[in-house]
Amino acid sequence: MKLQKGAYTALVTPFHEDGSVNFEKLRELVEWQIQEGIDGIVALGTTGESSTMSHEEDDAVAECVIEVANGRIPIICGAGSNSTQTQLEKTIRYRKMGADAVLLITPYYNKANEEGMYRHFATVGDQVDIPIVLYNVPGRTGCSISPACVARLAKHPNVVAIKEASGNISYAAHVAKLLGDDFAMFSGNDDMIVPFLSLGGSGVISVLSNVIPAQVHELTAAYFAGDTEKARAIQLKYLDLIDALFCEVNPIPVKEAMNQMGLEVGPYRLPLCEISPAGRERVRKALEVLK
């Protein structure tokens, strides 16, 4: 089992003004992403605000995205939790819904020692026959998967990839030594897509592609076609926009950008709230690159 290469959108979850999930808009976003040529979608990740949603809402969002995609592109569902048992239960449900893979995060808050970190992922892989993408984002979780632990997990038949979002290219280089036909690495940082691909990465799980899915797909496709100069040019062209999309905590700026573009993805759930005036202006100026 392995994931196809390319650009996957870490999809926002649109809300109504009262804070409820806007499923009509969610369906529109999934359809738009597919029509724009995106290679896959990750639902219920950090960008999807799943940390403020109930398990029932998570399930409904996963089911909606899988249904709309209808097998046209791979759907990865964020099933992670700092409780390994909860993570296992969610993975079982998404497997039954038809998810193509699950994204499992490190155990934030309680963290874990080296063996506990390994078991946190291996326990799910041992019990559910579905491709697992490890999610390393220590800036969010306060803990990281060590390269040695990644090496152990990479040998598991159901662990097929890692989303590496530490921003540490040295860490990525050490993980790159483990890559092969059975284990892949996806960039979790939009400003480092080309460097990750140069290390043997298989693509990106992108925030940027919520705004410009066609261009992010084009970047990865160009690189895999051997046109590294075109890929580099796309990376650098949108660097200011990428920076603006992370000027405040994700997904505040990307939702602001999408709302400015008329995509109407709605507000946030506390503790996330509206962007600052300075941030709003920075996003507005950065979007001028699309004109």
Strand partners, 47: none
Residue 264's identity, in one-letter code, is: E
Nearest to 160 by CA among 179, 147, 177, 141: 179
C-beta of residue 30 within 8 angstroms of C-beta of residue 68: yes
Q: What are phi and psi of 49, to 5 degrees?
A: 60, 30
| DSSP string for residues in 250-279 | TTHHHHHHHHHTT-------TT--PPPHHH
What is the spatial distance between Cα 59 and Cα 133, in angstroms, rounded to a whole number?
Answer: 19
For residue 40, give the H/E element and its range. strand 40-43
Q: How many CB atoms lie within 10 A of CB 75?
A: 26
Strand partners, 76: 42, 101
Q: Which residues form the catalytic set?
A: 135, 163
